[in-house]
Structure 1
Amino acid sequence: MVLVEAESFEVKGGWVLDQQFIDQMGSPFLMAHGMGKPVADASTSVTIPEKGIWHVYVRTWNWCAPWKTEEKPGRFHLSVNGKRLDNELGLGEKWDWEYAGTIEIKERRNRIALHDLTGFNGRCDAILFSKEKEVQIPNEGEQMYKFRKKLLGFTGQPINGGTYDMVVVGAGTAGLGAAIKGAREGLKVALIHNRPVPGGNNSVEVRVVASGGLNLMPYPRLGDVIGEIKNVYRRPAHVDSVIAAEKNLSFFPNMHLFDLEKKENKITSVTARDIESNVETIFYAPIFVDCTGDGNIGFLAGAEYRVGREMRGETRETLAPERPDNMVLGTSLTWWSKDVGHATPFPECKWAIQFTEESCEKVTRGSNWWETGFLYDQVNEAEFIRDYLFRAIYGNWAFLKNKSKDKADYANLDLEALFYVAGKRESRRLMGDILLTQQDTEGAYVKYDDAFVTCTYDLDQHFPTPKNSFFFPGEEFISTMKHYFNDLGTPRRYLREDQVIPPFRIPYRCLYSKNVDNLFMAGRNISVTHIVLSATRVQETTGMMGELVGIASSLCKKYNCTPREVYKFHLKELESKIK
């Protein structure tokens, strides 16, 4: 058998590399993200060791299968040496191996290509050539992982990526803050990121504007790094140059962390896989920082975590529900259209959400308010959540273009951009020595002696709009934001930076794990309640968290101590470095 991973294709054409769901479906995949226009072929060379008839399988699926649609929007063909195989692909009920057909192989070197038929997000994970038609192909879990490794020839140990003072996983604003600040404090740092570009939600792939205040009294040095690289998506080359200029910092983009080793209560190493080559590398360090957003390191390490809303009886938060539930802030996709000066068609999209004049959104662009997944698992159902937004956006646009009474207003508009990388707000929150609650954000005082990171955003709870809930109960995708002001009656983000009393501050003890001794966290996965996360999640604030963690990590090295021991024995020195 011969296995070809789609992510390793030499020419990706119009297909994009999607690695958001590796931990759920097992691999990155190529996706034909044409926004209704079939994309250019992806192709690559493959060596087939033996002449003759070969059976070909493709791991793919009909991504609209969860909604039982009659039409299958992600259909495509596979060709070998220019000959299209018989069967259309992208038809299955789940990620699985679909039979593409047979091909006669006459030479060792062969060219295979993916040919998109719809422009609507067909996806291909891998291609398998087999001399036997009836073959058992593993499709999930450890069996599939071992099967892939064997056929790809990766039977040995991971490459030794080296030993560092600190390993940071996730290069959003929090990870960038931690890694760059740590490097400037003299640490040897590895920054691992599973996207090709840094920035996370603030990158060119998602484009969420960074919010929050920086360099606020009485700790004006927090924010120096984030201020320098602010708005990554607007200045990607600048951010790349900042990373490259740090001699103590090694950046590993397109590397997905999937495994780690522990000894007692400490992580000793993490292992990451190159997204395109599948080569695995192991990294060693005494300190690890989880800036993955989803708390992936903490989850793998067995760190205590929470998901969803705490009940009012536990936290005494006035904004908490009476009973706990799994409701979270949702996921968003950004999209926009462009006036091209002449009428442009758009398909009917019968597989998408169907709209009426009353239920549709008469808009020409969308951003953070196109939000869904409030009651879904934002980690394990992430592909479903993202794809549901696809169905909402495509369906709404198809209605406006084809059926609305105002369709003339949209005739010359073309769907120019629809980002496929989801902007998440909330999933796992890793527990630290303090769980920050709503009460800690209120009042003109500072409760904790390690409250260093100033949060200038107000509590910002998201809920589906009443209109959206009326037409799509339980399956909403348009949100509204309710901002809760502080006791001064002023939205936090509008407070003057020179005010004596800050909105509220996040304690250092929220930034390390309570039960994994050498694990820091920074970002939307820190130790706060659901209510407080609605303020602390904004990116300039998470960047300052990262900077504080970078400084604290340098003290861990200086004194050969744990993050908790920094609080116990070296808090004044940590504080002195941010004044």
Structure 2
Amino acid sequence: MAHVLVPAGSFNCLGGWVLDTQFVSIMGGPYLLAHGLGKPVSDALTTVEFPEPGTYHLSVYTSNWTFPWKKGYSPGVFQLSVNGEVLSPIFGTHEGTWDWEYGGTVDVSSTTVQLALKDLTGFEGRCGFLYFSTEKQEVLPLDPREIFSLYREAKQPPLASYSFDFVVVGGGIAGMCAALCAARQGLRTALIQDREVFGGNNSSEVRVWLGGLTNLKPFEGIGNIVGEFEQERIGHYGAENQADLYEDARKRSILEQEENLSVFSSAILMESRVDGSAIASVLAWQYRSDALLRFEAPLFCDCTGDGALGSMSGADFEVTTNGHMGMTNIWYVEKTDSKVDFPSCPWAVDLKEVEFPGRAEVKDVYDNQREMSLGCWFWESGCELDPIVYAEYARDLNFRAMYGAWDCLKNHDHDYPNHRLGFAAYIGGKRESRRLLGDVILTKAEVMADRPYKDGCIPSTWNFDVHYPDRRFYAAFHEGDGFLTKDYRERYRTPYFIPYRCLYSRNISNLFMAGRDISVTHDALGAARVMRTCGMMGEVVGYAASMCKTLGVSPRQLYEKHLVKLLSKLQALENREVPKPNVKVQMHNDQ
């Protein structure tokens, strides 16, 4: 039997499609997303070598993404072109989410085949894999691990092995700061990021501003590296929140210019090998080049936000599955010089009979109105759902809320006649998921009581700031899922210094963590989660990792035997703070 597997992540030219890597643990791989905001996107193209000419059965791994809410609709559909001939099947129409749709037979006359994905709607059609086989496959895998096994068997991707002193997984602000700090301390460091873009929530893909204060006594040098990644200009709301504000290229350049730092982008963590209580190696899938990468190191750091490396390695963790902070997909509208139509979206959330921010004179949590209220941070979903299992569901609910609101405004209210959807983030801005457990699990009560820890070293200055569905808009949640939130805040004496013992795993001996997956409770995360604070966690981890190598100790042993040395090192750092004219503004806005 001859067969060919074509992963969406390896298409040569994406055209107008985008690559979504957020949900690999749910559905099995990166997928191409037709994120056209209601306008069909240009074709994704690739060239594939077949083992032999002949007649092949085609199966397409795709999702009818609105099926969990609305039966009988298929808003995200596409066709496949083979050597310039458009096949008749329309994909994305089955009754369910991720599954293999049979596409009939394809006659291949040459071993070199040109493929094109042809979007039909611009409404979030998605394709994960194409599978061609000379024998019809009645059953193809749906379990993500089995899909990865199919990929390895069918593609036989090359495997490259690396050895480093320190491996950081996750290229958001925390991961960038951890990796850069460790490299400058002399560690041969690897930074693994599942996107081409670095910065995480503070990238042009998500567009969340930095929060928190840095460079505070007695650790005046903690925050120096965060300062290097500061953006020069900010734009919080509406169409002012433009991509160029996030300086993606400059962030990446800082990382790539560091001598001891090796950067691996478009690389998804797939496996962890544990020897006893320590991580021995991790395996990443570099999906754009169809390669596997193995990394060995004595020390690792989980900066994935979701605690992906820790959970994969057997680290203890907690997750609040109901009543946690949710996910936002920032979006905005922009005015044009002429009338702009928008298609009806009967599969979206029906908002015609309810109030929502941005409609008429309805005010949001800051008393803003109209377009300044559309698509802001409080368009947030998933608070009542498992943030790992239902992550794609939550993101897609955000899509349906956005499209439903815009359909209502344009086609029912006949408002915003000259406006169009200008931007919508398809990468979700998460606030909370897994929290890896360390030797200290910091609680809100301890922070409120200003209880000091002798190893406190990361200043927390953001309010306790947690989000729950906004009661004012419960009528909009008639399907049962909330997607508009309100922030609930409490102040405490600042700065409060988060202890070092929150930054390493209590049961995986060589695992650090930095970012929103550190060892705190749900409520305490409301203060610790903002990105300048997360970046300082990364800096502390970078210094600690360097000392672990020099002293030949584990992260826990560094605390037990050398805490004075660690704190002395951190306190001796000089302030090289980059001026931040936006800090005062940011401390009074949310994210």
Taking structure 1 as the reference length, the TM-score comes to: 0.91
1:183 aligns with 2:183: yes
Give the Cα–Cα distance (whole angstroms) in 2 for the partners of residues 428 and 326 of structure 1: 13
Aligned-residue RMSD, C-alpha: 1.6
1:414 aligns with 2:420: yes
Give the Cα–Cα distance (whole angstroms) in 2 for the partners of residues 358 and 238 of structure 1: 43
Give the Cα–Cα distance (whole angstroms) in 2 for the partners of residues 48 and 384 of structure 1: 35
1:168 aligns with 2:168: yes
- Counterpart selection for 1:569 from 561, 574, 581: 561
1:348 Cα offset (Å): 0.7
Corresponding residue number in structure 2 for 1:321: none
Match of 1:149, SS?
Answer: helix
Corresponding residue number in structure 1 for 2:80: 78
Gaps of 5+ in 1: 309-324, 488-501
Aligned residues: 542
The residue identity in structure 1 corresponding to 2:391 is A
1:528 aligns with 2:524: no
- Counterpart selection for 2:21 from 19, 25, 35: 19
1:396 Cα offset (Å): 0.5
Corresponding residue number in structure 2 for 1:219: 219
Corresponding residue number in structure 2 for 1:578: 570
Corresponding residue number in structure 2 for 1:109: 112
Within a 5 Å distance, the mapping from 1:331-410 to structure 2 comes to 331-361=327-357, 362=359, 363-364=370-371, 365-404=374-413, 407-408=414-415, 410=416
1:446 Cα offset (Å): 5.0
Give the Cα–Cα distance (whole angstroms) in 2 for the partners of residues 44 and 118 of structure 1: 21
Give the Cα–Cα distance (whole angstroms) in 2 for the partners of residues 17 and 55 of structure 1: 25
Match of 1:385, SS?
Answer: helix
The residue identity in structure 2 corresponding to 1:294 is D
2:351–2:476: 8 Å Cα contact kept in structure 1?
no
Within a 5 Å distance, the mapping from 1:237-252 to structure 2 comes to 237-252=249-264
1:48 Cα offset (Å): 2.7
Match of 1:389, SS?
Answer: helix
1:273 Cα offset (Å): 0.7
Taking structure 2 as the reference length, the TM-score comes to: 0.89
Q: After superposition, give the CA deviation of every residue in 1:110-153 in whole Å (9 maximum; x if it has no partner).
A: 21111111100100111122223354323324433222222213
Give the Cα–Cα distance (whole angstroms) in 1 for the partners of residues 287 and 269 of structure 2: 10
Give the Cα–Cα distance (whole angstroms) in 2 for the partners of residues 64 and 302 of structure 1: 34
C-alpha spacing 1:49/1:569, structure 2 compared with 1 (3 Å): closer
Q: After superposition, give the CA deviation of every residue in 1:480-499 in whole Å (9 maximum; x if it has no partner).
A: 11111226xxxxxxxxxxxx
Q: After superposition, give the CA deviation of every residue in 1:312-343 in whole Å (9 maximum; x if it has no partner).
A: xxxxxxxxxxxxx7321000011111111110
Percent of aligned positions with the same letter in both sequences?
A: 43
Give the Cα–Cα distance (whole angstroms) in 2 for the partners of residues 265 and 50 of structure 1: 48
C-alpha spacing 1:51/1:486, structure 2 compared with 1 (3 Å): closer
Match of 2:536, SS?
Answer: helix
After TM superposition, which residue ranges in structure 1, 4 or more long, deviate above 6 angstroms?
none
2:67–2:97: 8 Å Cα contact kept in structure 1?
yes
Corresponding residue number in structure 2 for 1:491: none
1:237 Cα offset (Å): 2.6
- Counterpart selection for 2:448 from 435, 442, 449: 442
1:143 aligns with 2:139: no
Give the Cα–Cα distance (whole angstroms) in 2 for the partners of residues 463 and 135 of structure 1: 45
- Which deviates further from its counterpart, 434-443 or 76-85? 434-443
Match of 1:417, SS?
Answer: strand
Match of 1:67, SS?
Answer: coil
Within a 5 Å distance, the mapping from 1:144-543 to structure 2 comes to 144-154=147-157, 158-160=159-161, 162-231=162-231, 234-308=246-320, 326-361=322-357, 362=359, 363-364=370-371, 365-404=374-413, 407-408=414-415, 410-443=416-449, 445-472=450-477, 474-486=480-492, 502-543=494-535
1:122 aligns with 2:125: yes
Give the Cα–Cα distance (whole angstroms) in 2 for the partners of residues 359 and 105 of structure 1: 54
The residue identity in structure 2 corresponding to 1:103 is V
The residue identity in structure 2 corresponding to 1:570 is H
Match of 1:216, SS?
Answer: coil
Q: After superposition, give the CA deviation of every residue in 1:376-399 in whole Å (9 maximum; x if it has no partner).
A: 111121111100110000110011
1:301 Cα offset (Å): 1.2
Give the Cα–Cα distance (whole angstroms) in 2 for the partners of residues 21 and 8 of structure 1: 17
Match of 2:430, SS?
Answer: coil
The residue identity in structure 2 corresponding to 1:507 is P
Q: After superposition, give the CA deviation of every residue in 1:399-448 in whole Å (9 maximum; x if it has no partner).
A: 100001xx24x0000101011000000000011111111122124x5521
1:181 Cα offset (Å): 0.7
1:333–1:418: 8 Å Cα contact kept in structure 2?
yes
Match of 1:541, SS?
Answer: helix
- Which deviates further from its counterpart, 355-364 or 172-181? 355-364
Give the Cα–Cα distance (whole angstroms) in 1 for the partners of residues 156 and 564 of structure 2: 53
Give the Cα–Cα distance (whole angstroms) in 1 for the partners of residues 52 and 559 of structure 2: 64
2:327–2:431: 8 Å Cα contact kept in structure 1?
yes
Q: After superposition, give the CA deviation of every residue in 1:143-173 in whole Å (9 maximum; x if it has no partner).
A: 332222222133x7x321x211110000111
Give the Cα–Cα distance (whole angstroms) in 2 for the partners of residues 60 and 117 of structure 1: 14
1:78–1:100: 8 Å Cα contact kept in structure 2?
no
1:272 Cα offset (Å): 0.6
C-alpha spacing 1:142/1:213, structure 2 compared with 1 (3 Å): closer
The residue identity in structure 2 corresponding to 1:525 is D
Corresponding residue number in structure 2 for 1:53: 55
